[in-house]
Amino acid sequence: MRDIFVEIWESIRRNKLRTCLTGFAVAWGIFMLITLLGAGNGIMNIFDSNSEGLDVNTMRVYGNTTSKPYGGFKQGRYIELDEYDLKLTASPVFADHIDEISATLSQSGFKMTYGKRYFDVSLNGVYPDVERLYRIEMLAGRFINRNDIENRRKVIVLTHLHARNFLGGKENYESLIGQRVKIGNLSFKIIGVRHGAENENDTEIYTPFTTLSTIFSKSNRIDMLSFTFHGLDTEEENEAFEKDYKRVLNNYHGAAPDDERAIWISNSFTMNMQMNKGRHVLDVFLWIIGLFTLLSGIVGVSNIMLITVKERTHEFGIRKAIGAGPWSIMKLIIAESVSITAFFGYIGMVLGMVACRVLDATLGSKPIEVLGESITIMENPSVGLGVALEATILLIVAGTLAGLIPASKASRVNPIEALRAE
Amino acid sequence: MLIELKGVNKTYDNGQPLHVLKGIDLSIDRGEFVSIMGASGSGKSTLLNILGILDNYDTGEYWLDGKLIKDLSERQAADYRNHMIGFIFQSFNLIGFKTAVENVELPLFYQGVSRHKRHMLAMEYLERLGLKDWASHYPNEMSGGQKQRVAIARALITHPQIILADEPTGALDSKTSVEVMDLLGQLNREEGVTLIVVTHESGVANCTDKIIHIKDGIIGEIEMNAQHNASAFGTSTIMK
């Protein structure tokens, strides 16, 4: 092994400039590959962090308008979900897949009073899972829990914007916990203060779903029904399940059983799946660009090795005359090609990773103002150990391929003619 | 017999066929010091290439140390060359970017001998040829005679059955030529190395014990020359 490296070093040492220029092309190729993949990862990470909390498989079900006439109704009729849909969802038919069911209901037109201060608010009846789904950030107290739902407790979660107003501008939100506000004619206990996004006018007030639906809702309607599920592992299975589910709900609402639009389902699992597909396509695309950039470097190495072989023909003739087999000559050239490719490739890889860090420091951490909205373009652009390993294998394969033709040329040198050539 | 050639024919076919060797019959015994003499175009280089397993022949048989050398794969041929044959060339054919000792080591490298051992052996041979102080010099720092002695060390290091020397003095002045031929003679006498020298110089041939004349692809006269008096120019000089 050491002997081979000594030989390679001797050969490279004689052609430093040539080797470096060729190596630059390889380094550039790998640099581009790593930087592109890193940037791609950075962009995908943004999508990932936006859809965080949806990692559990959840379907959200909304009422929509019918797409075909059925049972004496015209098409275009609006379907409104109600509590019977909750019962249907909980029926044993779906028990194989559905785990936890939750629903939301919002009703506007309430006056919330605390002392002399009041707000016009709409109430959102929710289940505890909303905290995770909407990524609610609690500043004080707690969010709605199972007991609140079961006992239909009259409790609410406010935003810190309301709380600040109630406290007269102070921010000791803890002091509000356990206090009572009046909504309509009823007294509600404040159990939590959450962060409300100021620029998005986020003033949703949460109360247990059951409380809102029993006390205020006359029609039993619900806005959105959601449930977590398991055991649906492919797109086909999800589609089949959604079809069955829609058929049951359509039947109840008097819509055509095969009406795809009467009920609208947003499925986090298939959405994730599609996003992964998108990520995969992006990855493949970036790999192709990177590989083609690398290809020019590889051709360069191959070219240089051909020249080297031509220059060393006489030497190979000598080696063969004194007993070098074809394979040992071939090995020499391939090893040299792999060494050049791997060495410069690694330089490119390290530089690519440095470039990813630079991207992270410039685009990654700071949001950019685009048309008045602040957008973060990428988050933590970097490539994992897996990509580094793949790139290493790629370099070795590429180096071998680059050396193959020159090496077989060298191994076929005829010693008689090679010795004559000088 | 160490070398046994029976009816060896060789035809080159570059456009029109050229019958170079026309049935060579030749035997050389172990320990002989032989020269093959002939004008250019006589086929002596081709014969040397066949003897050195660098080239194939068309018909006939070539036995080397009891092995039939015919239709060998490249790998086998390389192996036989490595173990059984040592080459000395007119233009030395040392590898320019390797030092003297590295050049001498090279055949052992292809035998898979460990680095340490082959370095020791190579130093030993260089010392015997009086080049110990030149071991770490590159070929272009040495004189022609020194280079040829390095080449001889390289040829000797694997203890080959035969050493083939192709015009070994062709690039040397007459004084150095005498020294090199004396060295070869000495190796033959003292160590029993079988030596075959190909030359067109009668002075060089005169240094050997047996002169095989080749002409137009056939063996002509075989001259016994134990007294080294075959040269028309005296016995102790090589005419340049």
pLDDT of residue B9 exceeding 70, the answer is yes
Lowest mean pLDDT among A142-151, A206-215, B91-100, B230-239: B230-239
pLDDT of residue B233 exceeding 60, the answer is no
Show me where the domains of chain B are located: 30-49+73-239
Q: Which residues of chain A make contact with B54, given a CB cutoff of 8 A?
A: 321, 415-416
Q: Is B63 on the interface with A (CB under 8 A)?
A: no
Rounded to an integer, what distance in angstroms lies between the CA atom of residue A416 and that of residue A276? Answer: 61
Q: Is B54 on the interface with A (CB under 8 A)?
A: yes
User: How many angstroms away from the CA of A301 is the closest CA of chain B?
Assistant: 22
Q: What is the mean pLDDT of residues A221-233?
A: 87
With cut-offs at 50, 70 and 90, classify the pLDDT of residue B106.
very high
pLDDT of residue A243 exceeding 60, the answer is yes
Q: Is B87 on the interface with A (CB under 8 A)?
A: yes
> Residue B95 and residue A315: Cβ atoms within 8 Å?
yes
What pLDDT score was predicted for residue B34?
Answer: 93
Distances (CA, A) of B160 to A324, B26, B80: 15, 20, 10
pTM for the whole thing?
0.74
For B127-137, write each residue's pLDDT tens digit.
999 999 999 99
Greatest C-alpha distance within chain A: 110
Q: Is B214 exposed, middle or buried (0-12, 13-18, 19+ CB in 10 A)?
A: buried
What pLDDT score was predicted for residue B76?
Answer: 92
With cut-offs at 50, 70 and 90, classify the pLDDT of residue B158.
very high
ipTM confidence score:
0.92
What pLDDT score was predicted for residue A377?
Answer: 76
Rounded to an integer, what distance in angstroms lies between the CA atom of residue A34 and that of residue A390? Answer: 11
Q: What is the mean pLDDT of residues B187-194?
A: 90
What pLDDT score was predicted for residue B104?
Answer: 95
Rounded to an integer, what distance in angstroms lies between the CA atom of residue A239 and that of residue A219? Answer: 31
Q: Is B159 on the interface with A (CB under 8 A)?
A: no
For A307-363, write each residue's pLDDT tens digit.
999 999 999 999 999 999 999 999 999 999 999 999 999 999 999 999 998 888 887
Rounded to an integer, what distance in angstroms lies between the CA atom of residue A390 and that of residue A32? Answer: 15
Rounded to an integer, what distance in angstroms lies between the CA atom of residue B106 and that of residue B112? Answer: 10
Residue B21 pairs in a beta bridge with: B10
User: How many angstroms away from the CA of B236 is the closest CA of chain A?
Assistant: 31
What pLDDT score was predicted for residue A195?
Answer: 87
> Residue A2 and residue B98: Cβ atoms within 8 Å?
no
What pLDDT score was predicted for residue B57?
Answer: 93
> Residue A321 and residue B115: Cβ atoms within 8 Å?
no
What is the second-level CATH architecture of the domain B30-49+73-239?
A: 3-Layer(aba) Sandwich (3.40)
For A40-85, write each residue's pLDDT tens digit.
888 888 877 766 555 568 888 999 999 988 888 888 899 888 888 9
Q: Which residues of chain B make contact with A322, given a CB cutoff of 8 A?
A: 81-82, 87, 106-107, 110, 154
Task: Give the DSSP letter of residue A358.
Answer: H
Q: How many CB atoms neighbour CB A164 within 10 A?
A: 18
Distances (CA, A) of B194 to A38, B162, B186: 68, 5, 11
Q: Is B71 on the interface with A (CB under 8 A)?
A: no
Nearest-by-Cβ selection for B154 from A322, A415, A416: A322
With cut-offs at 50, 70 and 90, classify the pLDDT of residue B234.
low
pLDDT of residue A102 exceeding 80, the answer is yes
- First CA to last CA across chain B, in angstroms? 34
With cut-offs at 50, 70 and 90, classify the pLDDT of residue A108.
confident
What pLDDT score was predicted for residue B54?
Answer: 92
Residues in Cβ contact with A264 at an 8 Å cutoff, skipping those fewer than 6 apart = A61, A62, A63, A64
- First CA to last CA across chain A, in angstroms? 29
Q: Is A326 on the interface with B (CB under 8 A)?
A: yes
Cβ contact B232:B202 at 8 Å: yes
Q: Is A14 on the interface with B (CB under 8 A)?
A: yes
Q: Which of A290, A155, A131 lies closest to A211 in space, CA to CA?
A: A155
Phi, then psi, of A36 in degrees rounded to 5: -60, -45
b/e A30-57 (16+ beta carbons within 10 angstroms → b): bbbbbbbbbbbbbbbbbebeeeebbeeb
Q: Which of B135, B143, B225 lies closest to B188 in space, CA to CA?
A: B225
For A170-191, write each residue's pLDDT tens digit.
888 888 899 999 988 889 999 9
Q: Which residues of chain A make contact with B115, given a CB cutoff of 8 A?
A: 2-3
Q: What is the mean pLDDT of residues A221-243?
A: 89
Q: Is A292 on the interface with B (CB under 8 A)?
A: no
